[in-house]
Structure 1
C-alpha cells in the first residue's frame, strides 16, 4: 500500500523515484516489490512507500496525439510491444500464456490465494463440476513458470490417473508420467540403477494403490517433489486401515514445512468428524484441534484457516453476475414403476428371507454381522435386476473374512463415503450356505432369462423415449455389472437407430476412455455405465442427461453421477436427470424418503451438500433393519409412513443438526474477499484475456 492510502495489486503500473514500475506479487502492506517497466528480473527492487520523499502514485501513458500520423502497422506494433512489456514479469500471472483454455474468473481465486502464501497449503473443496482440476493446475503451472518449483506429483485413486495425465497435457502443456502398478516396471527399466521414478520424471501422476506398500510409501516420502496435489483427499483420512496408511503418508508429506500441498475434494466433511479434523491438520497441525478448543480459540483458528480453505457451491458461483451462464439449467425428475406378478413376489420372498437372517440368534456376533451385510447386499441386487440377484446368489460369501475384507464388504454395501473404489461394481456375495437360497436361485434364473418382462426395464424404456425425442444423449447409471450389461442389450434391441454401449469396471481406464470417444462420434447415442464412470471421466462433451436406474444409498454418489454432465463447459444449455424408484419396493421407499429426499431438501435450503452425519453406516443399517422387521407393515405403507419410523426420525434430526453446523462453519472463507470481476479487470489490463482466448481457439476445448 502506498503512503497516500492507495492499495496497489500485482500487475498495476505505478510511478516512484521518477520512473515507471510494475507491482509484483509477494509484497506486504508496508513494502512493495517493483520491477522497472523496461527492466528485467535483476532490476527488481523493494520499496517502502512510507520512507519515500515522493508518494507512490498510479502511472499511465499520455493519450496519443491526434496531430501525429503514421501507418496502421506501426500502431499495431506499438500496441503489441506495450502488451508484451507489461506481461513480462508481472502479468499478474506468468503461467497464463502456457495454458490451452480460458478459465473463468472464479477459477482464478484459489490461484490468488496461493500466491499470498509463502508455502502453498490449500484445501480446495469446490462443488462437483466447478473445476477443481483447473484450479489446482493453474497453481501448478504458475509456480513452475515462476521458477519456485522444479516438478510436481499428483496423488489420486487409480481410476483417475489417466484422466489427470490427459488434463495436464491438454490444458497445461505439462507431460506427466503415469506411475501405476502396471506402468512402474516399464518406467524403472529405463532408469539408471538406484534412481527413483519419483525423481527421474519431474511431473508424475501416482496411483495411491501403487504406494500402499511400506517400501514404496517410504521411497515416495524420501523422494517426493516439492509440490504435491492430492485428489479425492477425503478418501485418505476416513476410517479403515487403508485410509489410515494413506493419512500417515500425507502427514509425512506435510511434515516438510517447505512442501507445497494442494488437496482436492468435493466432500471435505463426509460425515466423519475425526476424518475432517485430520484433513484440516494437513494444512497446519493447529487446525486439527478445531473440535476441542475453546470458542474464542476456535474463532481465531477459523480466521487463520480461511487463508487455506476455499469451498464454493453452485449458489456461490451464480451470485456473480459476470458468471451467469457458466452452468447449464438442470431439470430433475422422479419416475416411479411398480413391480408386478413374479417380480413382486420374488422381491418379497427375498425380504422375508433377509428378515429371518436378522431375527436369528447366533453366538458369533461377527459372523452374524457379515451375514446381515450379505442380506443387505442381496436386497440391493434384487432391486437392481434379476441378473444381479442371480449373480449374487451364486457367489459364496466369506463369513470368516479378515477384518480389512469385511470392511471392504460393508463399504460396498452401503456406498460409504470412505469407499474410494467406484470400480467395485461386482455383485456382492450372498450365498451363506443356507439351503433356503436354492428356491430363490431358481426364481432368479427364470426372471433373468426374460428381461423383456421386467417392469423396471419397461419403465426405463418409457422414461428414455421423451429424452431421446428431444435430442438428449443420456447416461444410464447402474449399480452392478450384470444389470448394466442386461440393460445395454435390451436398449440396443429397443432403440435400433441409436448406438448403445456399456462400460463397467471390468474394462481398464484407457479402454473406457476409448469407448466413450468412439460412442461420442455417433449423433444418436446411449451410454449404460456402472459407477466406474461416476468419478474421474468427464462426459459433458457427448452427454447431457443422467438416468439413475439404481438408487445409491449414498446421496453423494448421485451428485457425482450428475456431475459428469452437469459441469463447467457443458455445451448444452439444459441437462436432465431422472431418478427411478420402485413404488412398491419398501427398500427404495426408505432410501428415497429418508436419505435422498432429505439430502436434496438440505441442498435446496442451504445451497450446500451435507453428507449424512456421524456414522452413516450404522444409521442406514438401523433403518434397513427396521424396514425388514416391519416388512409386512411397510409393504402397503406410503413413503410418508416410512418417514415416521423412529429410525427415520433419528436420521432426520441428526442430519438437520449437521446442516446447521455446516452453515455456521461457512461464514469465514478467504474467497469472499476476492471478487472474480476484479480478477478479470486485472487480466484485461495486461491484455491476458485476449491471449487466453487466442490459445483457447487453437487448442483443446475440453475443460474440467
Structure 2
C-alpha cells in the first residue's frame, strides 16, 4: 500500500525516524533525519525499500514516577519543542510557545530579504508588534546571526518585555533600569560592562539616555536592537532629544540591525517623522514623499497594517479581533458623602504640602510628584490611596522612588504601582490613612457604577477586560 506523506510528517524508514520534506516528484520521498541537518537529507523510492516506509509512532511513556525537577523541566521542554515543524522554512518555529498568525510573519519575511535588518513596524494597536519583533529576533538567533540584543523601551514596559520574551520565545533577558543596574553591575570586573556580562537585556530608555550613560552604552551595545514606542524618541523637547541622540548614535553603525515599533509613526509633525525615518537610512530624512522611487525604497523597510486591513483581506483573520463598541465621554457617578469628604481632605492636605515645599528643585519636584501621585490614587480607588499613604507612613519612599519614575524620566504617566506620597509623616497624614481604611470596607460608588455597566454585557456573552491605573485598584 502506498502511503502519502506531506512535508513535516514524521516517517520511519531504514530503522530510524525522519521528517518528510517537499518531494521532487510524486512517488518519491525527500527525508531529513529527525536529529540531523539538511545536509543529511536522502531521496528514496518507497517501492525499492526492503522494509516498508510507514508513519513514525512514538509509544506513550510508562506511568509517571517521582523524579527530580530537572527531569520534569526537560520533559516540559520536549513537549514545547514541536519537531513536526522542523521541515518548515523558519528555524525558530520549534522554539515558539505559540502559533503566530499568518500576517505576523510578514515583517519576518521582509527582514530576511534585507542585507541589514532596518525595519519600522507601524501596525495598529493590538495587531502584535511585540510578536512580530520577537519572531525576527528568535529567527536570527536560531540562524546564528545574532548572539546578543537589547530591547529599548519606556520604563513602564520593561517588565512586560522581559515576560513576553521568556514566555513566548524562551529567551531569558534581564531588566536594566535605574533600580536594577547597580545590582547587576555589582561584582563585575572593571574591564567588563553590564552588557558584556548580560547579552540579553531589556533597557529603560529613560535610564540609558542620560549623557553619562549614553556613550558607554553606544560602545557596548549589541548589534541587534529593538526600539519600542519609537515615536516617543524623535520629538523636540529635552527628554526626547536625548532619546533621539541615543538612537541616532546607534543607527550610525551601518551593520547594526534595528527594529523600531510604533502604532503612531506620523502624528502630523513632518520633522519628527523625518527624524524617525532617518534611523532607518539617513537619506530618508530629506526624501520627497511624492517621489515614487522613494516610496518604493521605503516600502522595503516599513510595514503598517490597520485592523481592518487584516480582517477584510485574505488573511483568514475574520475572528482575530473583537468588535469594539465606542462611547463618547465617560460615565458619571455620584460620590457618597464619605468618599467626597475624603477627596476634599486629601486635596486640602496636598495644597498644604505644596505651600510648604522648599525652594530646591528636588524638594519642589517631590512635592509635585507626591501630590499628583496621591490625587491620582484617590481618583482611582480608596484602596490605591491607602496603599500610597501606607507606603509613605512605612517610610518606603526610597525603595519605591526608582519605580515612580526612572532617573532622567519625562513620562509621568509611566506608573502602574501605587507610589509613595513622598510627604513627611504627621498626624494629618495618619488621619488620612485611617479615613482610607474606613472607606476600603465600604461600597465604592465607582465600582457599583462599573458593575451596572458590565452586568448586561456579560449576560449577552461578552468577556470584558477592565483596565486600572493602579494594581491595588
Give the unaligned 5+ runs of structure 2. Answer: 1-19, 32-36, 59-81, 374-409, 422-434
Aligned counterpart in structure 2 of residue 122 of structure 1, from 96, 119, 123: 119
Deviation of 1:12 after TM superposition, in Å, equals 9.4
Structure 2 Cα separation of the partners of residues 392 and 301 of structure 1 = 55
State how 1:323-338 maps to structure 2 within 5 Å: 323-333=317-327, 336-337=331-332
Question: CA distance change for structure 1 residues 111 and 338 in 2, over 3 Å: closer, same or farther?
Answer: closer
Structure 2 Cα separation of the partners of residues 463 and 296 of structure 1 = 48
Secondary structure of residue in 1 paired with 2:325: strand
Give the aligned partner of residue 76 of structure 1: 55
Matched, 1:238 2:235: yes
Secondary structure of residue in 2 paired with 1:304: helix
Matched, 1:225 2:222: yes
Q: Is the 8 A contact 1:235 1:420 kept in 2?
A: no
Structure 2 Cα separation of the partners of residues 420 and 112 of structure 1 = 37
Give the aligned partner of residue 503 of structure 1: 471
Give the aligned partner of residue 144 of structure 2: 147
Structure 1 Cα separation of the partners of residues 84 and 456 of structure 2 = 56
Structure 1 Cα separation of the partners of residues 345 and 462 of structure 2 = 30
Secondary structure of residue in 2 paired with 1:245: helix
Aligned counterpart in structure 2 of residue 396 of structure 1, from 351, 354, 360: 354
Structure 2 Cα separation of the partners of residues 143 and 220 of structure 1 = 22
Give the aligned partner of residue 303 of structure 1: 296
Matched, 1:423 2:420: no
Matched, 1:265 2:262: yes
Give the aligned partner of residue 692 of structure 1: none
Secondary structure of residue in 1 paired with 2:55: helix
Give the aligned partner of residue 39 of structure 2: 39
Structure 1 Cα separation of the partners of residues 416 and 296 of structure 2 = 40
Structure 2 Cα separation of the partners of residues 477 and 85 of structure 1 = 41
Aligned counterpart in structure 1 of residue 275 of structure 2, from 275, 278, 282: 278
Give the aligned partner of residue 654 of structure 1: none
Give the aligned partner of residue 314 of structure 1: 307
Q: Deviations over 1:149-188 (max 9, x none)?
A: 2211111112211211111122112111222222222222
RMSD: 4.8
Question: CA distance change for structure 1 residues 462 and 248 in 2, over 3 Å: closer, same or farther?
Answer: same
Q: Deviations over 1:344-366 (max 9, x none)?
A: xx9xxxxxxxxxxxxxxxxxxxx
Secondary structure of residue in 1 paired with 2:144: coil
Question: CA distance change for structure 1 residues 104 and 420 in 2, over 3 Å: closer, same or farther?
Answer: farther
Structure 1 Cα separation of the partners of residues 359 and 270 of structure 2 = 30
Q: Deviations over 1:311-345 (max 9, x none)?
A: 111111102352221222333456644769999xx
Give the aligned partner of residue 492 of structure 1: none
State how 1:475-554 maps to structure 2 within 5 Å: 475=466, 477=468, 503=471, 528=473
Question: CA distance change for structure 1 residues 264 and 40 in 2, over 3 Å: closer, same or farther?
Answer: farther
Give the aligned partner of residue 11 of structure 2: none
Secondary structure of residue in 1 paired with 2:415: coil
Deviation of 1:85 after TM superposition, in Å, equals 12
Question: CA distance change for structure 1 residues 454 and 101 in 2, over 3 Å: closer, same or farther?
Answer: closer
Structure 2 Cα separation of the partners of residues 212 and 140 of structure 1 = 23
Q: Is the 8 A contact 1:178 1:205 kept in 2?
A: yes
Question: CA distance change for structure 1 residues 85 and 208 in 2, over 3 Å: closer, same or farther?
Answer: closer
Q: Deviations over 1:568-620 (max 9, x none)?
A: xxxxxxxxxxxxxxxxxxxxxxxxxxxxxxxxxxxxxxxxxxxxxxxxxxxxx
Structure 2 Cα separation of the partners of residues 450 and 420 of structure 1 = 27
Q: Is the 8 A contact 2:278 2:285 kept in 1?
A: yes
Give the aligned partner of residue 177 of structure 2: 180
Question: CA distance change for structure 1 residues 395 and 296 in 2, over 3 Å: closer, same or farther?
Answer: same
State how 1:443-462 maps to structure 2 within 5 Å: 459-462=449-452
State how 1:500-649 maps to structure 2 within 5 Å: 503=471, 528=473
Question: CA distance change for structure 1 residues 314 and 170 in 2, over 3 Å: closer, same or farther?
Answer: same
TM-score (normalised: structure 1): 0.44
* Alignment length (residue pairs): 365
Structure 1 Cα separation of the partners of residues 445 and 136 of structure 2 = 51
Q: Is the 8 A contact 2:155 2:177 kept in 1?
A: yes
Deviation of 1:190 after TM superposition, in Å, equals 3.6
Secondary structure of residue in 2 paired with 1:331: coil
Q: Is the 8 A contact 2:266 2:273 kept in 1?
A: yes
Give the aligned partner of residue 191 of structure 1: 188
Question: CA distance change for structure 1 residues 107 and 472 in 2, over 3 Å: closer, same or farther?
Answer: closer
Structure 2 Cα separation of the partners of residues 185 and 136 of structure 1 = 28
Deviation of 1:125 after TM superposition, in Å, equals 1.2
Matched, 1:202 2:194: no
Structure 2 Cα separation of the partners of residues 14 and 459 of structure 1 = 63
Q: Deviations over 1:609-658 (max 9, x none)?
A: xxxxxxxxxxxxxxxxxxxxxxxxxxxxxxxxxxxxxxxxxxxxxxxxxx
Structure 2 Cα separation of the partners of residues 214 and 253 of structure 1 = 14
Deviation of 1:203 after TM superposition, in Å, equals 1.0
Secondary structure of residue in 1 paired with 2:90: coil
TM-score (normalised: structure 2): 0.63
Aligned counterpart in structure 1 of residue 102 of structure 2, from 97, 100, 105: 105
Structure 2 Cα separation of the partners of residues 401 and 276 of structure 1 = 37
Structure 2 Cα separation of the partners of residues 321 and 471 of structure 1 = 25
Q: Is the 8 A contact 1:235 1:419 kept in 2?
A: no
Q: Deviations over 1:460-493 (max 9, x none)?
A: 4532443566675652546xxxxxxxxxxxxxxx
Question: CA distance change for structure 1 residues 169 and 68 in 2, over 3 Å: closer, same or farther?
Answer: same
Structure 2 Cα separation of the partners of residues 308 and 474 of structure 1 = 34
Structure 2 Cα separation of the partners of residues 426 and 241 of structure 1 = 27
Structure 1 Cα separation of the partners of residues 105 and 166 of structure 2 = 19
Give the unaligned 5+ runs of structure 1. Answer: 1-10, 23-36, 42-59, 347-381, 430-445, 479-501, 505-527, 529-704
Give the aligned partner of residue 466 of structure 1: 456
